[in-house]
Amino acid sequence: MSKIINGKEVSAFVKEKVKTEISLLKSKGIDVSLAVILVGENPASKIYVANKKKACEELGITSLEYLLPEETTTEELLGLIDTLNNEKTVNGILCQLPLPKHIDEQTVINSINPKKDVDAFHPENVGRIMIGDFDFLPCTPAGIMEMLSYYNIGVEGKNCVVIGRSNIVGKPMSMLLLHKNGTVTTCHSKTKDLPNVTKTADILVSAVGKANFVTADMVKEGAVVIDVGMNRENGKLCGDVCFDEVEKLSSYITPVPGGVGPMTIAMLMKNTLTAAKKQNNIF
């Protein structure tokens, strides 16, 4: 029977440290602020934005919300971002994805000042992650690395398999494991004989977005299994991993909900704090 990796517990640990540092900055007259832009009425995005606002309030971060209508043009959105880029009191800028189809996401991402890009999606920040000289990390992969550290799960020398190659999770996840001296295989829809590859993993990360995709026959006994999936099946939230099956095999496993999910917002708060410190020359 595996040990549950409790994302809520690790998230609380990270947020408490961030809260302490923010309090210290405030005692020096430095306020920390995060601007969040939401375009349109995507229900899931509205929930995410509300959760981010709540976390900001808990930790003492000033939350600035910009709720824009669905018909907002690319030019209007870029104009707002330009204003926020030049506003010294704004430390972090987050534009909630996905954007309406008529807006080019990459153009928007590219327009955010890399020093305020707390999602770490800007090409400059992505490049810095590649060479291992970064200020910010994408929140979900960063949260996973934080969980591994919290539970003293070493990466060095381990076979690590990441299922998924998205720019948001899969690719940066592979890079972070590589930076910790893991031997990393990235799998995707064109990978041949996927179960044979995943069964080599000491650490298996699934970021596919398909309910119950990872079954027991795909997992090596004693593996650490990290489930990034957030899927709905029969009205219930579930991950990529068949939890009941895989839990019996793995040494550690993240549940859904309560695993990786809480870490994403915690790491966003940490990135915002980092941005404020860098902008105020506090290292």
Q: Which of 15, 96, 116, 158 does the annotation list as catalytic?
A: 96
Length, in residues, of the chain: 283
Q: Are 158 and 180 in contact (CB under 8 A)?
A: no
Neighbours of 156 (CB within 10 A): 9
Neighbours of 44 (CB within 10 A): 10
Q: Which of 15, 116, 119, 240 does the annotation list as catalytic?
A: 119
Q: Is the dihedral of CA 49, 51, 55, 58 positive or negative?
A: positive
Same fold, 30-113 and 139-261: yes
CATH code at 30-113: 3.40.50.10860
Q: Residue 86: what pLDDT?
A: 98
- One CATH from 3.40.50.720, 3.40.30.10, 1.10.10.60, 1.25.10.10 for 139-261: 3.40.50.720
Every domain of the chain and the residues it spans? 30-113, 139-261
With a CB cutoff of 8 Å and minimum separation 6, the contacts of 62 are 31, 32, 33, 34, 56
Active site residue 15: no
Q: Which of 52, 158, 171, 270 does the annotation list as catalytic?
A: 52
Q: Which two tokens stand for residue 176?
A: 């972070």
Q: Are 237 and 230 in contact (CB under 8 A)?
A: yes
Active site residue 279: no
Active site residue 52: yes
Q: Residue 1: what pLDDT?
A: 67
Q: Which two tokens stand for residue 45?
A: 């995005």
**CA nearest 169: which of 276, 261, 53, 237?**
261
Partner residues linked to 92 by β-bridges = 34
What tens-digit pLDDT sequence spans the chain (283 residues)? 689 999 999 999 999 999 999 999 999 999 999 999 999 999 889 998 999 999 999 999 999 999 999 999 999 999 999 999 999 999 999 999 999 999 999 999 999 999 999 999 999 999 999 999 999 999 999 999 999 999 999 999 999 999 999 999 999 999 999 999 999 999 999 999 999 999 999 999 999 999 999 999 999 999 999 999 989 888 888 999 999 999 999 999 999 999 999 999 999 999 999 999 999 998 7
Q: Residue 238: what pLDDT?
A: 92
**What is the rounded CA–CA span in Å between residue 213 and residue 83?**
43
In this structure, what DSSP letter does residue 214 have? Answer: B
**What is the rounded CA–CA span in Å between residue 246 and residue 49?**
32
Helix, strand, coil content of the chain in percent (nearest 5)? 45, 15, 40
